[in-house]
Structure formats: C-alpha cells, structure tokens
Structure 1
C-alpha cells in the first residue's frame, strides 16, 4: 500500500461523496477479519492504516500478567518491563505482527471494501435524492413490463408500477414518456426501491397544481379528492380569497384547465365540487350534477351518516351508474350517504320538529283561528241586528208567512 491508495481515497470522496474516514474504518475492520482468517490468529488483532503514508500494520494486543497461559493473548510482566519499565499488570501492549506477504491480501481486501462502500454510497445518494420526490409527479420513460409491473426509468433509478397502480384502459409502450406519481420510496437491502402510480388520488391533485397557478400558490385549495381511476374523480376545492371563485378558477376558461388534466388521465371525468363548512351543503354539492332537496343527519347513529332527499326524476342521476356518483360523494365527504326519492319520504312528526319549526306552525294555526272567530262573530252580530229591526228585508221574510204563500 502506498500514497496512491490515499490519492484513490481522496478521488473517491470527491467523485462519489464517500468520506475517506468511513472507508478507512471499514478497511481496518475488513483487514482484521482477513488476517484472522488467513493466519489463524486470535481475536486480539488490530490493524492500523496510516492515512498519510498509506501503510498498513497489524498488531497483536496482549495483556500484561504475572503468569502467561496463552502467549497469543498474554505477556509476562518481566517481558513487558523489559520493553518499558512503566508497564504494570493489566496493561495492554501492541506487538507488530504484519506478515511479509500481507500486502497482497490487503490489496484484495481494500478493493472489495472500496467497491462495497461505493455501492452503499450510491444507494444512499439515490435514496436521499428520490425520497425528496415522494408524493410528487415525475416524468419517466417506460423501460419494460411483465405480468406484475411496469418498469419506469426516472434517471438514476428504475421505478416499478404495480398492476394496482396502472390505469385500467392504458397500454404502456416501450420508450414511451409518461407522468407518474411517486407513491413510496424504500431503502431496501438491495438498494433504494421507488414505487410509482397512475391511479393514486394524489396524482390528480398534483396535476391540478401544474395546470392551475392559483392552486399552486395556495389561493385555491384542494380539500379532498375521491377517485375511481380511469373513470371518474370528484375534487373538492375552496378559495382562500373571497374575490376568487374556486370552482371557476379550477375549471378554467372554457374548461381548458380541467380538460388538460382529463387528457393526461386518458379521458377520466372530473367533477369540481365547491367545499362548504356546512356538511349538508357540502354533501349536496358533492352529489352534483343531481339536484338535492334536503339532507337529514342521523344523530342517533354513531357513524357519520346522512339521508339525502332528491326529486323522483333525479334519483338515478344522484346514485349514478352502478352507484358511482353516490359512492364518490360519500368518499369525498366522509359521510355514509343514503339517497331517497321525494315520494318515499314521510311527513315529519311534531315531536321531531325543531323549536323554530314548531313556533312557525303554531303561528299559522293561530292566524287561522283568529280569522275563523272573526267571521263567526260577524255573522252572529248581523243576525242579532236583523231580529231587532222589523223593517229589514230579511226579518220581514222570516216573520211574514203570507210572503211564502205568494
């Protein structure tokens, strides 16, 4: 070993980012193992690497004792004081035992250690780089595919896309450029493993961030995404600026912005929903394009559930094809939604009415009673007046039987 070794370690640190101290520590450990294996030595061996000259020396560490039982591990006090009078029982002394042909073994070991450290450093660098892109969109190239995965090159690493993360109606061709969502980055024993997806709801959110500047800068916020990949998605948005319409901004002029996302996802339909603080309004918006008459919450149920009343002719629209519209709305809002047509809804009992509703009903009843009483009082007063005045036509007719005969 020589200064060339030091120069190689310096170059390795500069080019690969592997610190020289780390390689030297690993090299010393590997050389200890190699020495014990090749020379059948005990476990008291140390290897010293001179970081300035590049020289390697092997030492046997022995303990000073009164009586020596194993010469490989112990040295007598007499022999120790002959070396240095300051030695005492219990001290440890290093004796150089570097073999003459150890340079060849050291060179082979150093090569293996350096290659291993380089691989580890490259893996660590790749993991550090791509872990920053987790939950982000990257541009990749389809390298190959099999029955389970599509392999996408992202530059320094080949990512895998499982079947569950592949769009149902998409056909991935070799060397095709595609956008993928980095769903997970693992630091596995064989190196960093990057998993990508085209079906993850996060991809919809990131695509809108690319197309809508107001979403990217936070003026408009995507609150939630419910997705059935390749078919339909519902995206709930709200505005953090009262002068900005969240839905209109997201859709864009003539639907240009949302259409760009639809095109990227191979025609997947997008419903942009206005998020509301009031759960009933939010649920009604989530069921768009269906019209909602009322939303009733089941307070007695421990689960978050609601009954939605819609016009009879809107029932199929509210439920959607194979229940998709209701299913996505439930996923978006977090409520279990039961949809009923207006004709099946029973009238609410007085006991179930709120205090406000009961007060309004009482006021209407009181108004009807007052009107009826006033009419009855007027009729009684008119009859009394007529009986008291004989000149009145009605009184004459009632009291003169001759008129009847005529």
Structure 2
C-alpha cells in the first residue's frame, strides 16, 4: 500500500463528496476482519493506516494480567515488563503482527471498501435527487416489460411502473417515451427504488400545470381532480381574478391546451368545470355535460339530491354511473340523481315555481340551496 491510495481518496472526496477520513476508518475496520479471516487469528487486533505514507500495520492488543488464561488476548505482567518496565496490571499492550503478504490482502480489501462506499454515495445522491421529485412528473423511456412491472429509465435510475398503475387503454413498448408521476421513493439495501404511475390523479394535475401558464403562475387554481384513468376525468378550477376565465384558460385557443393533455393520455376524455363554494352550483357544474333542474342539499349528511329533466337522466348518471361517480369524487358530496318525474312522485319536486326561476325558454335556473322535503 502506498501514498497512491491516499491520493485516490483525496480525489474521491472532491468529486464524490465522500469523507476521506470515513473511508480510511472503514478500510481499517475491513482489514481487521480480513486479517482474522485469512490468517485464522481470533485475537484482539488493531490496524493502523498511516495518513502520510499509506502504509498499513497490524497490532495485536493484549491485556496485562497476573495470570494468563488466554495467550491470544492476555500477557503476563512479567512478560510485559520485559518489554517495558512501566507496564502494570490492566494496561493494554500492543505488538506488531503484520504478516509478510498482508499488502496484497490490504490492497484487495481497500479496493472493495472504496468501491462499496462510492456505490453507497452515488445511491445517496440519487435518493436525495429523487426524494425531492416525489409527486412530480418526469419523462422516461420504457426499457423492458415483465408480468409485474414496466421498467422506465429516468436517466440515472430505472423506475417501476406496476400493472395496477398502467392505463388500460395503453400499449407499452420498449423505447417508448412516456410521462410518469412519481408516487413513492424508497431507500432499500440495494439502493433507491422509485415507483411511478400513469393512472394517478396527480399526473393529470401536473400535465395541466405544464400546459396552462395561468395554472403554473397561480392565476388559476386546480381545486380538485377525479379520474378513471384511460376513460374519463374531471377537474374543477377557480380564479380569484374576475377577468380570467379559469375554464377557458385550461381549454386554450381552439382547445389546443386540453387537447395536448388528451393526446398524452391516449384519448382520455376530460371535463373541466368551474369550482364554486356554493354546493348547488358546484354539484351542477360537476355533472356537466348534463343539464340540472334543481339541487337539494342536506348539509348535515353532506349529500345532495339532484333533479334533472327526464331526457337528461342517462347523461347525468353516465355510462355505468361514471359521470355521477366522478362528480361525487370531484365535489366531495354524495349525489343522488332523480328525474323530474320520479322527483314529482316522491313529492320533492317541483318546488314553488317563480317566474324568476326560469329563463326565456322556460328552462329552470339554479338559485339557492334547498333542504329536501320528502312526502310522508
């Protein structure tokens, strides 16, 4: 071993940020194990790596005792004083026991320790980089596919895209470039492990932040997202600036902004609705594209009864209840949809008709919150 090792450690400290002293201590600890393993020694030893020359020496450490029971660990007071008359019982004496071919073992051990520490440091750097990207969107390249995961290269590391997080309407092939949402970054013994998703609602939110400058700069805010990946999604948006149309901002000129997101999600339909603090208005908006005649609100149960024209019932409920289900997730309110004729039979509709409640085409206008009054 020579000063070349110390020079290499100095370079590593500068380039990788790994403490030179920590590596030296790790080498010394590893050399103790290597000495005991290769020379069948069980005594207490210490390895010293000279910080100036890079040379290594092995010292056997023995306790000074009156009576020796284990000569590998103990030395008699008489023998100790033969080395140095100042020794007393309970002192620890060190004697050099460096084997002749210890240099070769030391070189191999040092190489292993340095390689391991460099690998650990690189893993730490990768973990630190990606833990800050949790719940963010990244572009990756599909590397390989098996029955459990799609392995997506994110540059320095491969991320795992589980089957449950893959969109059902997508087919993935090696070398495909896809956008993924980082759901979790874990630190494991084999290094950081990253899980990504194509179905998470956060992916839709981040895509809108990329495509819509008003969302990115905070002029327009995404209030909530509900998503059934690959089929249909709904987002609610709001702006405190009265001169900004939040829905129009997300749609973009000729629908270009939302269309770019639809293309990225392989044709997934997206409903953009205006958020409102008023549950009547918000629930009605969330059931878009259907028309709503009345929204009856039960504040205590956080539930609503939505009355729609008979011809709008199937549209309001949606295919397999999807529209109503997504609207409920979007608003956080339970939604029970009834047609006007069913509501009339239940005695909860129509409410007292006022001329101001209807437009010029005799279409009902949403005006206020009503508690449902069910007939006996």
TM-score class, shorter-chain normalisation, is 0.7 to 0.9
Contact 1:59/1:96 (<8 A) preserved? yes
Question: How far is 1:43 from its partner?
Answer: 4.8
The answer on 1:144 being equivalent to 2:167 is no
Contact 1:166/1:197 (<8 A) preserved? yes
Q: CA 1:216–1:300 in structure 2 vs 1: closer, same or farther (change >3 Å)?
A: closer
Counterpart of 1:338 in structure 2 is 336
Question: How far is 1:60 from its partner?
Answer: 1.6
Taking the aligned partners of 2:249 and 2:342, their CA distance within structure 1 comes to 39
Taking the aligned partners of 1:17 and 1:132, their CA distance within structure 2 comes to 19
Counterpart of 1:267 in structure 2 is 267
SS at match of 2:192: strand
The answer on 1:213 being equivalent to 2:213 is yes
Counterpart of 2:22 in structure 1 is 22
Taking the aligned partners of 2:324 and 2:48, their CA distance within structure 1 comes to 72
Counterpart of 1:236 in structure 2 is 236
Contact 1:218/1:240 (<8 A) preserved? no
Taking the aligned partners of 1:43 and 1:21, their CA distance within structure 2 comes to 26
Q: CA 1:213–1:43 in structure 2 vs 1: closer, same or farther (change >3 Å)?
A: farther
SS at match of 1:161: strand
Question: How far is 1:84 from its partner?
Answer: 4.6
The answer on 1:125 being equivalent to 2:125 is yes
Taking the aligned partners of 1:119 and 1:342, their CA distance within structure 2 comes to 68
Taking the aligned partners of 2:76 and 2:278, their CA distance within structure 1 comes to 88
Taking the aligned partners of 1:244 and 1:88, their CA distance within structure 2 comes to 88
SS at match of 1:135: coil
Contact 2:27/2:110 (<8 A) preserved? yes
Question: How far is 1:160 from its partner?
Answer: 2.1
The answer on 1:8 being equivalent to 2:29 is no
Question: How far is 1:237 from its partner?
Answer: 0.9
Which structure shows the bigger proportion of residues in helix conformation?
1
The structure whose RCO (Cα within 8 Å, separation 6+) is larger is 2
Question: How far is 1:188 from its partner?
Answer: 2.0
Counterpart of 1:390 in structure 2 is none
Q: Deviations over 1:169-224 (max 9, x none)?
A: 22223222222222222222222222222211111111111111111111111111
Contact 1:29/1:47 (<8 A) preserved? yes
TM alignment of 1:362-377, pairs within 5 A: none
Contact 2:293/2:308 (<8 A) preserved? yes
Taking the aligned partners of 1:299 and 1:18, their CA distance within structure 2 comes to 59
Question: How far is 1:134 from its partner?
Answer: 1.8
Question: How many residue pairs are counted as aligned between the two chains?
Answer: 349
Counterpart of 1:185 in structure 2 is 185
251-260 vs 323-332, greater mean Cα deviation: 251-260
The answer on 1:106 being equivalent to 2:106 is yes
The answer on 1:70 being equivalent to 2:70 is yes
Question: How far is 1:22 from its partner?
Answer: 2.3
Q: Deviations over 1:345-387 (max 9, x none)?
A: 23359xxxxxx99xxxxxxxxxxxxxxxxxxxxxxxxxxxxxx
Contact 1:219/1:241 (<8 A) preserved? yes
Q: CA 1:348–1:129 in structure 2 vs 1: closer, same or farther (change >3 Å)?
A: closer
SS at match of 1:289: coil
**Unmatched runs of 5 consecutive residues or more in structure 2:** 350-368, 371-376
TM-score scaled to structure 2, two decimals? 0.86
SS at match of 1:322: helix
Counterpart of 1:318 in structure 2 is 316
Taking the aligned partners of 2:283 and 2:21, their CA distance within structure 1 comes to 61
The answer on 1:173 being equivalent to 2:173 is yes
Taking the aligned partners of 1:243 and 1:89, their CA distance within structure 2 comes to 90
Taking the aligned partners of 2:45 and 2:71, their CA distance within structure 1 comes to 13
Question: How far is 1:234 from its partner?
Answer: 0.2
Taking the aligned partners of 1:57 and 1:72, their CA distance within structure 2 comes to 18
Taking the aligned partners of 1:229 and 1:120, their CA distance within structure 2 comes to 37
SS at match of 2:187: strand
Taking the aligned partners of 2:179 and 2:135, their CA distance within structure 1 comes to 13
Q: CA 1:275–1:299 in structure 2 vs 1: closer, same or farther (change >3 Å)?
A: closer
TM alignment of 1:382-393, pairs within 5 A: none
Question: How far is 1:86 from its partner?
Answer: 4.7
